[in-house]
């Protein structure tokens, strides 16, 4: 039985105790391993860290022994801190068994009621009125199939290549920041699950774990393909180091994000203040509240270079060690065309999951816009799309319309709630859905897909077919 | 008064007792007659079968004496099993009198609250997000009439022919699996009700009862027309036998299902595990849980031959004994055209009630697509449509647009909740609604219908008019 | 204090007592005056009539002394019938003061909670799924204005002519059956209110009161214009008499209903069985339950001649004594054109308030269809529309699109809940709304309206522009 | 401790006591300063004014000492008036801290639950069925961006000019009546907040405060731009005086409202009767209940000259002392063209926030209509739009489509709930949202916006492209 006074005596980096939920821990040896950085813990050294701890970690984490996180014993009952957020505890519910999860939406619904409010806010939020986020999904729902029947499809094959690299499925796990918020293993668990199921994982610049740890958690760089997502740092030298490290770790391509040099206004994220700073192990970005609110996404983007422009592509190539470059966040046919001219190897049509600019176009509209305006783009680079993809049917539709592959983001974050097993389980679900779709459409391997298998009439009239506006020809004029 | 020990002494095929809801039954003689197969019961021989029984049978069934199902007496109160699913019992409500049922939706609402959860899940579920199922109905609702007035229509006549066979109404009762789940008489009751009202009934390969029993329950093969729905078995010999049997029983046509060589992902069905296997008396298919869930539809489809393709039509014809062949599940104009080329007598435009592939097209879209692309199809075979038809107005719209007849599925399953009387009652309702529609539109017999009586503007722009995509011309290209 | 035995002794047409809500009445002298017919009461002679009474009359009626309806005194408490529908009483609420009613929707909401369930069901119901009823209103909501500003409109004038007769407002009170159900004075109160506000009232063939009583309740035939709505009787001689009587009473035109020779399937009406037959004082139609349900609309239509056709117009003219003939219920441009050819003076584009055939077109669509296909119709007769008109804006839109006037039905039924005062109040509301609309659009009298004041783009694409279907060219073919 | 009798002894303009919520006040010196006029208070002189006070003032007002509003002490408990509207008090909730407000919708939601019901009804209400009000917002939501990426936009500049006057942001605070209802300082607080953030404020003819007070509350006419909104008075001399005063106070332009010479039917406003008249310090308009209801908007418009027409523009110019003239409320391209011909300097495309005529067109439709029909209008005057603008994205869309600036009305009313600080806070929010939008679209200053940055396909088909109706060519005809 310890008193608060006992605890207070251990408040230095060399001897650090904290209390969580009425239990005393010696975390001295854990400090250097903390994914959120040692400073985060040290600000609670010798004191109660319950509130901070609970706002950012999964409730079940304490049940798992962590190396260096030593349980000393209970705090004296009379000493229990009174400010504990009981409401938070009550609301977090236990997770149902993984085998009852049968689709991507199940993972999302479970995350909403089992993860901490801040994690949910950060992952699920999108820009302002959420219109683009909803439109992303709706666009897929409005495309109908034209299924061909009476084809022998006893065997179907979902394998393909992305940038020339083999993959078991025509999608990659899209890069998302701070995966450690939902599961302490974060990107490491994703790498393991992705390796087991043979899908490609893109590691974020804002990864919770160092790239080398992520890669080594899977099958290793020889046996498993990883790509790097890149935010260019205002301190360009840091970007040079990051790219060198990525190359050294065996990453195979660089996806440069071009639609989030600043973060969108994600209001659910802003509204929820955090009690504790969060730090990325890769970029070093740290987020905390400011006067605009507690927007983790916004605060993590502060180091991103807003001067980035087309001419910088030459520089990125020069420091990327020969890795293929892909631009993530293209939203118009004209920028797709520019990407060709600047010689990149691929583009991801994306509105950042609706998180950047509300009423920005769903990637499916941009895909169709390119077909209308610059179809030759498809001959020069690979085109991927992301945003709103939740079903095997969605994946198949994108492929029919010329995408080489798609990116899947939030669903994998929510699946990570179950660790590497969740990652594998979601991948199996999507594979099963994709195979069913292929069979139902009369297709046995992905080289057979073609646009005649889908009916896009419901959205065709919403897609622009020229670079300018069809009839508004206004140009700036002199003022009165 | 019996004890559990007494019951346990009778646990063989030759001497089989079970207990249900605290009552002891000797079911030895009932075993060979059980629509779900003797094995199903035998797995509970000498034991309590309440949970299994209730999950799959209507609550009222025990009140009806079944030949060979002998009531012995009560179980000793101290022996009552404690694991009974009381929740299930509480939720199942009594059925209202049949004369308060005035439309097809009433039957559905009553079924939802009176049948077992598994029966409801199996019958009502559809693929993934239910988009196609909802669109099926919505498509009909969006077609408007252009009613002609001031026509003498004191008398109206709803009779027509399907494949040359007389019918009192321009629709058939679509084939649905395992009709015994909602009413022990299943297909036999359907046959009786259909015979009484002069409509054609299509018997499923997954019928709960043998074809001969079904036919003899009605007016007999001479007085009443039945068709066979066919799933081709991976063991082709079984299909040969089935077709021979169908022919021998007097069935008049074969409807080959081409859109469900595997079942769609019906999540409501998957989520609800069954306690008891269900077996078809015709195909012999047995369903039970597997690691993907309890999807009865998926499990019953395991024997279906996924290699089935256009070239197999020749073989089917060769073993069908001269019966007309109809393909059920055509979803594109180009496959309708192929059906003509392969010489079948009819096609059912269908997305399997939205149960196979979500966002597959409503049959009404496919009907209009054929008019746009290959209108000559209508000169070569009969075209039927199904999916979402709930009203006499829906039937009439399909006929105005060139369908020879329509298929009605789920509504008849729900009507079967009231046995043969329910089948007849629903038929009378639909006939009355159809007659009212005819009178309101100024039509006195079905030879007078024409497309000028309907306005399809709301959906016209959603229908494709070419075989490929209107502007996406992408073709597979070599990878980078 | 009376006993049930006392009451039972007075059970003949010459000496008739009944009990209602525990009070005994001598209704012998009231019998011949009962709007619902003497037989209705006589079926309860010497007995309790509470249930029957309450199902069809407004709760407040007993508070108003009725000539010949003599209160004798209370029933002995021990004799009170136990089967009274207490639920009904509880649900019926008092009406709020008339001056708190500020629009047509208020009258509807008040009626829903203050009139008897059967009256509400009969008035508010529409065909099957209510799609046309909702579409009627939605069509108006989707038309936008193109208001012209900076026009002097200090004074505005809403007067116009209908069939050459002066009216203070460009609409008529549409004919509706059995107005006595909501207010004992029924059509008489309507006539009074209409006369006070200078609008034209169309008296239904199914009027609760004799035409002469209705006319004399207002300003008289010289000072006030009434029209007759006509259902042609299978006994044509009765129609001859009705027309002669209408002419004798001073009615000025005959509106022949052509879209309801049978009533639509109004399910809310069917579901509610009535305890008492209802009888029209004009047509003599009596409604009661049958095996299809309690559909008052359907049952009252049984006498209507279903053989009525275009050739009968000549006969109607021959027996209408020179009154102008208007066809009510035209739903296609081609029938509008036929109306011109058969020489009638006007047509009402109408789908009977959505009560006849569900998914029949809103009148606004038909109005636009005529402009597209046979615009010359507008030069040959007057065109009115009804269905879904609830606001002054709706009236104005119809006029801009070429309607001479509009008909307003249900809103006046609901206003009649407040008697003649309610009729006048609703008329003042609509006049005020219309004047505001005129001023906002820059129009000072109704001769200035024109189609350039409205934007119909939202519905234009839904309107047919040819007599047949735009691309479905199917024609009946020989069967296989 | 005072008695009601004590209070009643002080009931004259020279000696005026009132009681509010059980407290006695001497308000004699406050009378001439009351924004609502002395008469308003005098009608309660010597009596309890709680109900009247609460219906129109913010609950917190009494907590702030008002000069001349002297607290005398409590009323004797036995004398407390019993008619107090407790319900009102209970519903009014405290305002959350301003720093938790992160968008314009937050201000609205807070106002709904914290201001008096009458203030909420007056500010939030719109014409009849609220269709135009909702469509205003929806129109913006349906326009998508076509964001350009990879542009250096480290620095962005939101400054522009309106009528040649500098402004920090491309919008003005639209004129709204009676801003003193939500905050006693009303327009004065708006002027202060607007001055601090460098945006232009338009002062309403129905301002709660005199123009000179408003101007002096900000930075003064030399340092801050104000415009005048003008309703022309039926007594034209009053308008002459008003314009002379506005000019003398340093206002820089006159916005003549042309779409509200009468107020629309705002039913929420009509339904709530006021206990107290409200008076404008500028126009002198006083509102009170009449037999149509308590519509404050309608009653305040009674003095507005309904004869106002295009020819009056010459007169307005002649009395406006050379100030630029802008017409507010243009709703068609043809009136925009007339505005050019009559030589005004600007037009505000507006449907008065949906408050005038329901189903009048959203300003965005009118903006597009001008581009289709008379694009030359944009070369001759400045075009502004208002209605439904709630986000920085909305502002940016309007500018891309050729608007010089936009007007923002209700959001600023709701922000005024927090006084000048609220005005400044909302402005900062909108500026931040606009800057984010500019960066996301690849634009660094407002001279770079162009129509190619937006996709208006979703609404294009709803916009007229000719002055008349596209196919309805009806013209008034002679009657039968």
Q: Which one of C129, C307, C472 has the shortest CB-CB distance to B371? A: C472
Nearest to C469 among B324, B452, B458 (CB): B452
**pLDDT at B58 (0 to 100):** 60
Q: Which residues of A touch B356 (CB under 8 A)?
A: 440
Model confidence at D287, pLDDT cuts 50, 70, 90, reads low
pLDDT at C274: 64
Q: Which CATH architecture has domain A98-462?
A: Alpha-Beta Barrel (3.20)
Nearest to C440 among D357, D468, D472 (CB): D357
> D437: nearest CA in chain A?
A357
**CA nearest D101: which of C347, A270, C39?**
A270
pLDDT at D216: 97
- Could you tell me if B444 and B450 are in contact, meaning their C-beta atoms sit under 8 angstroms apart? no
Tell me whether residues A306 and D439 touch, CB distance under 8 A. yes
Active site positions of B, annotated: 231, 259, 352
Confidence of residue A478 (pLDDT cuts 50, 70, 90): very low
Query: Among the listed ranges A70-84, C23-37, C292-306, D91-105, which one has the minimum average pLDDT value?
Result: A70-84
Chains that touch C (3 or more CB pairs under 8 A): B, D
Nearest-CA neighbor of A253 among A280, A216, A221? A221
What average pLDDT does the segment D444-466 reach?
96
Model pLDDT, residue D69 = 86
- List chains adjacent to chain B, taking adjacency as at least 3 C-beta pairs closer than 8 Å: A, C
Q: Which residues in chain A are contacts of B264 at CB distance < 8 A?
A: 436, 440
The answer to whether residue C268 scores a pLDDT higher than 70 is yes
pLDDT for the residue numbered D415: 98
pLDDT averaged over every residue in chain A: 90
Kindly state the average pLDDT of the residues B350-354. 97
Mean pLDDT computed over A294-298: 81
How does pLDDT run across A135-181, given as a tens digit for each residue?
999 999 999 999 999 999 999 999 999 999 999 999 999 999 989 98
- Taking residues B264-293, report their average pLDDT: 76
Mean pLDDT taken over chain B: 90
Asked whether C378 and C372 are in contact (CB, 8 A), the reply is: no
* Among C262, C271, C479, beta carbon nearest to B439: C262
The structural domains of chain D, with segments of one domain joined by +, span 4-74, 98-462
Are D306 and C154 in contact (CB < 8 Å)?
Answer: yes
How far is Cα A326 from Cα A200, in angstroms, rounded to an integer? 15
- Cβ of D102 and A292 within 8 Å? yes
CA distance C440 to chain B (A): 32
Query: Do B and D make contact, counting contact as 3+ CB pairs within 8 angstroms?
Result: no
Task: Considering only the beta carbons, identify the residue of B330, B359, B361 that sits closest to A149.
Answer: B330
Q: What is the pLDDT of residue A3?
A: 86
Contact C475 B447 (CB under 8 A): no
Phi, psi of D474 (to 5 degrees): -55, 140
pLDDT at B55 over 80: no
Q: Are C345 and D480 an interchain contact pair (Cβ–Cβ within 8 Å)?
A: yes
pLDDT band at C242 (very low <50, low <70, confident <90, very high): very high
Q: What's the CA gap between A245 and A224, in Å, rounded?
A: 17
Q: What is the mean pLDDT of chain D?
A: 90
- pLDDT value at C35 more than 80: no
Q: What is the mean pLDDT of residues C171-196?
A: 95
User: What is the pLDDT, as a whole number, of residue D88?
Assistant: 42
Which of the two residues, C454 and B40, has the higher pLDDT score? C454
User: Band of the pLDDT at A82, cuts 50, 70, 90?
Assistant: very low
Can you tell me whether residue D325 is helix, strand or coil? strand
D169, D132, D136: which is closest to D385 by C-alpha? D136
Over residues D425-434, mean pLDDT: 98
What confidence category does residue C60 fall into, taking pLDDT thresholds of 50, 70 and 90? low
CB atoms A452 and B468 under 8 Å:
yes
Is the confidence at residue B85, as pLDDT, over 50?
no
As a whole-number percent, the residues of chain B with pLDDT over 90 amount to 70
Pairwise CB contact (< 8 Å): C378 & D308: no
Which string of DSSP letters, residue by residue, matches C303-353? GB-TT--TTHHHHHHHHTTT--EEEEEE-SHHHHHHHHHTT-SEEEE--GG
A378 — pLDDT class (breaks 50, 70, 90): very high
| Residue pLDDT, tens place only, B308-337 | 999 999 999 999 999 999 999 999 999 999
Interface contact flag, C402 D474, Cβ < 8 Å: yes
> Do D292 and D354 touch, CB atoms closer than 8 A?
no
Query: What is the model's pLDDT at position A55?
Result: 63
How far, in Å, CA of B470 to CA of B357, rounded? 23
pLDDT for the residue numbered A277: 61
Percent of chain C, pLDDT > 70? 90
pLDDT bracket for residue D47 (50, 70, 90): confident
Q: Do C330 and B149 touch (CB under 8 A)?
A: yes
Q: Region B336-340: what's the mean pLDDT? A: 98
For domain A4-74, give the fold: Flavocytochrome B2; Chain A, domain 1 (3.10.120)
Query: Cα–Cα distance between A433 and A429 in angstroms, integer?
Result: 6
Note whether B4-74 and B98-462 share their fold.
no
Contacts of C472 in chain B (CB under 8 A): 368, 371, 401-402, 451, 456
Q: What is the mean pLDDT of residues D48-57?
A: 72
What confidence score (pLDDT) does residue A89 get? 40
Residues of chain D neighbouring A334 (CB-CB closer than 8 A): 148
- What is the SS3 string spanning C225-258? CEEEEECCECCHHHHHHHHHHHHHCCCCCEEEEC
- Give burial (CB, 10 Å; 0-12/13-18/19+) of D282: buried
Size of interface A-B (CB pairs under 8 A): 142
What does the alpha-carbon distance between residue B361 and residue B367 come to, in Å, rounded to a whole number? 10
**Annotated catalytic, D259?**
yes
Q: Kindly list the residues from chain C whose CB atom is less than 8 angstroms away from the CB atom of residue B153.
A: 261, 306
Q: Pick the catalytic residue from C201, C209, C226, C352.
A: C352
Contact yes or no for B335 and A148 at CB 8 A:
yes
Give the HSE-up count for residue B417: Cα atoms under 13 Å, Cβ half-sphere: 30
Give the per-residue pLDDT at A290.
Answer: 73
Q: Of residues D27 and A299, which shows the higher confidence score?
A: D27
- Is pLDDT at D90 greater than 50 in this prediction? no
Select from A139, A230, A265, A461 the residue whose CB has the most chain D CBs within 10 Å, as the one to mutate to test that interface.
Answer: A265
Three-state SS at D56: helix
From C309's Cα to the closest Cα of chain B, the distance in A is 4
Are there at least 3 beta-carbon pairs closer than 8 Å between C and B?
Answer: yes
pLDDT score, position A118: 87
Residues of B in contact with C313 (CB under 8 A): 150
* B144-185 confidence digits (pLDDT tens): 999 999 999 999 999 999 999 999 999 999 999 989 989 999
Among residues D326, D202, D209, D366, which one has the least CA distance to residue D279? D209
Residue range A192-217, pLDDT digits in tens? 999 999 999 999 999 999 999 999 99
pLDDT beyond 60 at C233: yes
In contact, A150 and B310? CB cutoff 8 Å: yes
- pLDDT > 70 fraction of chain D, expressed in percent and rounded: 90
d(CA A473, CA A19): 66
pLDDT of residue A284: 74
State yes or no: pLDDT of B237 exceeds 80: yes
Which of the residues D141, D149, D344 would you substitute to probe the A interface, choosing the one with the greatest number of A C-beta atoms within 10 Å?
D149
* pLDDT at residue B450 is higher than 90: yes
pLDDT bin (cut points 50, 70, 90) of residue A69 is confident
pLDDT-derived band of residue D89, with 50, 70 and 90 as boundaries?
very low
Q: Which residues of B touch A391 (CB under 8 A)?
A: 128-129, 358
| Chain B interface mutation, best of C312, C352, C358, C387, highest count of B Cβ atoms under 10 Å | C358
A153/B306 Cβ within 8 A: yes
CB contact under 8 A, D371 and A470: no
Contact C473, B374 (CB under 8 A): no
Selected residue with higher pLDDT from D374 and C7: D374
Note the pLDDT of residue C84. Answer: 38
Span of A3-17, B16-30, B361-375, C282-296 with lowest mean pLDDT: C282-296
Instruction: State pLDDT tens for residues A384-413.
Output: 999 999 999 999 999 999 999 999 999 999
* Burial (CB count <10 Å: 0-12, 13-18, 19+), residue A352: buried
Catalytic residue among C25, C44, C123, C231: C231
- The 3-class SS string of chain A reads CECHHHHHCCEECCEEEEEECCEEEECCCCHHHCCCCHHHHHCCCCEECHHHHHHHCCHHHHHCCCCCCEEEEEECHHHCCCCCCHHHHHHCCCCCCHHHCCCHHHHHHHHHHHCCHHHHHHHHCCECCCHHHHHHHHHHHHCEECCCCCCCCCCCECCEEECCEEECCCEEECCCCCHHHCCCCHHHHHHHHHHHHCCEEEECCCCCCCHHHHHHHCCCCCCCCEEEEECCECCHHHHHHHHHHHHHCCCCCEEEECCCCCCCCEHHHHHCCCCCCEECCCCCCEECCECCECCHHHHHHHHECCCCCCCHHHHHHHHCCCCCEEEEEECCHHHHHHHHHCCCCEEEECCHHHCCCCCCCCHHHHHHHHHHHCHHHHHCCEEEEECCCCCHHHHHHHHHCCCCEEEECHHHHHHHHHHHHHHHHHHHHHHHHHHHHHHHHCCCEHHHCCHHHEECHHHHCCCCCCCCCCCCCCCCCCCC
């Amino acid at each position: 039985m310890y008193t608060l006074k006992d605890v207070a005596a251990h408040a230095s980096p060399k001897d650090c105790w904290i209390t969580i939920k009425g239990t005393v821990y010696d975390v001295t040896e854990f400090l250097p391993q903390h994914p959120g950085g040692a400073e985060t813990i040290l600000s609670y050294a010798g004191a109660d860290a319950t509130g901070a701890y609970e706002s950012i970690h999964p409730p079940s984490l304490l049940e798992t022994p962590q190396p260096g996180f030593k349980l000393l014993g209970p705090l004296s009952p009379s000493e229990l801190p009174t400010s504990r957020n009981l409401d938070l505890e009550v609301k977090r519910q236990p997770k149902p068994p993984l085998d009852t999860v049968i689709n991507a939406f199940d993972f999302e619904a479970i995350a909403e009621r089992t993860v901490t409010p801040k994690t949910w806010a950060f992952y699920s939020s999108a820009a302002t009125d959420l219109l683009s986020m909803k439109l992303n999904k709706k666009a897929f729902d409005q495309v109908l199939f034209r299924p061909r029947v009476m084809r022998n499809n006893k065997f179907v094959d979902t394998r393909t290549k992305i940038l020339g690299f083999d993959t078991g499925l025509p999608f990659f796990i899209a890069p998302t920041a701070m995966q450690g918020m939902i599961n302490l293993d974060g990107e490491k668990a994703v790498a393991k699950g992705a390796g087991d199921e043979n899908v490609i994982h893109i590691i974020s610049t804002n990864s919770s774990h160092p790239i080398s740890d992520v890669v080594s958690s899977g099958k290793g760089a020889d046996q498993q393909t990883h790509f790097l997502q890149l935010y260019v740092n205002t301190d360009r030298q840091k970007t040079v180091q990051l790219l060198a490290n990525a190359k050294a770790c065996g990453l195979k391509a660089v996806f440069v994000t071009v639609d989030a040099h600043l973060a969108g206004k994600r209001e659910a994220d802003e509204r929820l203040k955090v009690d504790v700073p969060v730090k990325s192990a890769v970029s070093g970005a740290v987020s905390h509240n400011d006067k605009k609110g507690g927007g983790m996404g916004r605060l993590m983007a502060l180091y991103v270079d807003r001067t980035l422009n087309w001419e910088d592509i030459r520089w990125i190539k020069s420091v990327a060690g020969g890795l293929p470059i892909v631009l993530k966040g293209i939203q118009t046919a004209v920028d797709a065309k520019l990407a060709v001219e600047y010689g990149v190897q691929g583009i991801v049509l994306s509105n950042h999951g609706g998180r950047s600019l509300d009423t920005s176009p769903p990637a499916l509209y941009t895909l169709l816009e390119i077909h209308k305006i610059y179809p030759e783009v498809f001959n020069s680079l690979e085109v991927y799309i992301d945003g709103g993809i939740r079903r095997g049917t969605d994946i198949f539709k994108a492929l029919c319309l010329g995408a080489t592959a798609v990116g899947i983001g939030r669903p994998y974050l929510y699946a990570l709630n179950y660790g590497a097993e969740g990652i594998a389980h979601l991948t199996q679900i999507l594979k099963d859905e994709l195979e069913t779709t292929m069979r139902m459409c009369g297709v046995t391997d992905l080289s057979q897909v073609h646009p005649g298998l889908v009916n896009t009439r419901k959205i065709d009239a919403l897609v622009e077919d020229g670079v300018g506006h069809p009839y508004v020809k206004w140009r700036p004029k002199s003022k009165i």
